[in-house]
Amino acid sequence: METSPQIPRGARLHLGCGGQPLPGYVNIDVPASGRQPVPKADVFADFTTLALPEGHVAEVRLHHVFEHFRKGEAVALLARFNGWLQPGGALRIEVPDFGDTAFYYFLTGDLRALRHLVGSQEAPWATHHELWDARQLRRALALFGFGRIRLRKNRMWFRRSRRKWWRNLTAEARKARALTPEEARRAAEAFFEPYLINREIERSAWLGHFDEMMRRGGEA
């Protein structure tokens, strides 16, 4: 577990900033360790191990980071972000848009669209573990205590771009209610339910991933 004296109350966090830090944010990423590009962070840390007090930050922001986590880990992060955020605090997540990207692939056969969905895979960190579309991202946010959810597709941007396979989805939401640990685990079970095929095996594994990620933050 990491503690973060560098993160003041009311800060805006940019998690997994890579080589693109944002002004006005505390930009956080892991040390380089052979990664390309080299992160340009204010704080070098694994954000999944950070312990922040309840209601400590004003905003949490992730660009093309959320899809790198398994289903159970991802929704555990939503529960933890809910805890970190002040009442009404902002959450912004950008991920590859599975629906639009898959549609583009079926129309064109452009294999770069599949690469966009699954990651570049040149290193262990460069693999995507979950696919997100507007429906599932909205459902996850609502289950984990977020409201005023707005979803935006990057259509205008990629129409005039050569990278027409680069189709992304941005979710913006506000913390509407706090969650107890018990409520967060019930929300995870509700989120998993429509996905289940081998029900007991999958539920047990996904809840295990959820519980492990919840424990990684410890207590501030």
pLDDT digits (tens, 9 = 90+) for 132-172: 999 999 999 999 999 999 999 976 444 555 667 779 999 99
| CATH code: domain of residue 68 | 3.40.50.150
Please state the pTM of the whole predicted model: 0.92
**Tokens matching residue 48:** 């999944």
Residue 160: C-alpha distances to residues 53, 134, 157, 165 (Å): 43, 22, 6, 12
23-49 b/e (C-beta count within 10 Å ≥ 16 → b): eebbbbbeeeeeeeeebebbbebebbe
Query: Total domain count for the chain?
Result: 1
pLDDT at 3: 47
Q: Which domain holds residue 195?
A: 2-216
Q: Is 1 exposed, middle or buried (0-12, 13-18, 19+ CB in 10 A)?
A: exposed
3-state secondary structure 10-57: CCEEEECCCCCCCCCCEEEECCCCCCCCCCCCCEECCHHHEECCCCCE
Kindly report, residue by residue over 107-126, the tens digit of the pLDDT.
999 999 999 999 999 888 88
Q: One digit per residue, pLDDT tens: the chain, 220 residues?
A: 444 557 999 999 999 998 899 999 999 998 876 556 677 899 999 999 999 999 999 999 999 999 999 999 999 999 999 999 999 999 999 999 999 999 999 999 999 999 999 999 988 888 999 999 999 999 999 999 999 999 999 764 445 556 677 799 999 999 999 999 999 999 999 999 999 999 999 999 999 999 999 999 875 4
Q: What phi and psi, each to the nearest 5 degrees, are found at residue 162?
A: -75, -20
